[in-house]
Structure 1
Amino acid sequence: MAIRKIVKIGEDFLRKKSKPVQNFDEDLWQLLDDMKETMIASDGMGLAAPQIGVLRRIAVVEVNNAYFELINPQIIKSKGEDVEEEGCLSVGSFKGRVKRPYEITVSAFDRFGYPFTLTGEKWLARCICHEIDHLDGILFVDKSMDKDKYLKQGGKI
């Protein structure tokens, strides 16, 4: 396992759409292990592959000591609304309020290529939505209710 460098806002790479994972092999397993180690070392709740320079649809999240690996995730159902403050390892210290679904159901694959569905609410739902946005080249500051404050502080988009 290795701690990878996190790509920061302002780099065009974060704005690109990720490609689906095709091969569920040892290279993928190593990448997942590196992502988990990088997320933990950076004190994050989630990490998407583009944040470490890999344009693949992969995310890892850890909420309330529950760890999930999501490969080719898709939100298949959402309900409710929730507004909370978010941050991002790629953005720095800025925190901003973002409206997200209160509950989501996502379909994804595990590291071995087996499909599964996961339903989460509150912070798990928020974290998964945040990471899926990364896979589509979207950052939380794009959706933040505090975007003007971020820009006034000299933030990059």
Structure 2
Amino acid sequence: MSEGTAHEPSVDDATFTAVPGIGTAKNGETRRHVLAGLVVCGVCDRRMDGHRVHGHAGYRCRHGYTSAGPRPARAPRNVYAREEHLLDALPGLLEVDGGDTASKLIEQLAERGLEIVCTHHNRGLRPSMTQRRANVLTRSGRGALHLG
């Protein structure tokens, strides 16, 4: 990660963070994964991909493997999480009232600098990668990372 801006961004920050959560269905309908970019695999630390199964939005991590080649016998199993289950769990993880909308919960994740971590059996929160990098830079005496 660079400490300074290497070049002028081609899109603004709001557009950059919104685009990964938008997809198009075969019928041309726009689909959204509202937690895109906020869900991380607790097995391999990669961002989980948004996908749909039987009409339900969800996230998966294949740990860098694809269907293009044979998977090693000892490779970890894929991690899956349905978006609705994550949204249902967020109020308890954030220790807030369960009546908040998805957008309010996502806003709280951003305000607190948190991301959702999923393993095969657990869901949790941790400081986001950006937040962890900023903490490392601050502790190393190189100053805080400016993200604005």
TM-score > 0.5, shorter chain as reference: no
Of Structure 1 and Structure 2, the greater strand share is in 1
Larger Rg: 2
TM-score by length of 2: 0.28
Provide the TM-score with structure 1 as the length reference: 0.27
